[in-house]
Amino acid sequence: MGVVNVTPDSFSDGGEWFSPDAGVRHGMELLGEGADILDIGGESTRPGSARVPQDQELARVIPVITRLAAAGAVVSVDTTRAAVAERAVAAGARIVNDVSGGLADPEMGRAVAETGAAYVCMHWRGHADVMDALEVYDDVVADVRDELAARLAALESDGVRREQVVLDPGLGFSKAGALNWPLLAHLDALSALGRPVLVGASRKRFLGRLLAKGDGEPVAPLARDEATAAVSALAAASGAWAVRVHAARASRDAVRVAQAWTAAGREPARHPQGEADSP
């Protein structure tokens, strides 16, 4: 899943793809790099960011979704608003990627049920301006699993079919640093809920802190792509359905390595008679 931020204040690219033309161009570049899905977002969720009005979010995402869907791309809309989700699906989006898991807008479950779109339900406790204050867990893996299970049940009560839902542990959301690692190491706990899992680690703060230099200063977002690709490989090997990334090529290659690795582990080691591998 390649990220297309049509916002002026994204943490990862600083608004580089803000205009519709730039967003469409970047989406096509991500497809060329091997992205299977394009995730279009018009509202930044970086730590501390403020919300934008709904009409502004719509003005940002609908033209880009329309053009990319018309070009044949599988498009996801990154939104917490039911009205934006409905307009986006009407414009050609097939997936609604909601970082709030339906908590930010009580109409989201109804909208997803009525549109029939696939729905990414992320673990979330509050908007970007307050989320860091909500990082309180007894056991982060068990707590995230249980809170996502509750959201899954609530969505089903709104008429969403279970098979529409993908789960996301919400890396970086009310989890600023070290608590992200147990979630990555225990993706099986989320898979046990019976739904596919999306991992969105790309360029996030916890990677910047991991790679910090001697002065303790986290490396810049653009310097986190190699670490992102490493997470992509490990997530794929752990059974993740997809990884959400800003730079597609390295993660696409990393996922292919993980697939080959895990496939070889399921089969007996045989060498075709008369053949030899080149160095």
CA distance 258 to 198: 16
- Output phi, psi for 71, to 5 deg: -80, 0
Choice among 60, 87, 175, 204 that is catalytic: 204
Sign of CA dihedral 134, 135, 140, 144: positive
CA distance 47 to 174: 9
204 in catalytic set: yes
213 in catalytic set: no
Choice among 60, 87, 244, 252 that is catalytic: 244
Sheet of 75-78, strands arranged across = 2-5, 38-41, 75-78, 95-98, 118-122, 165-168
Tokens of 72: 């044949």
Q: Cite the active site residues.
A: 204, 244
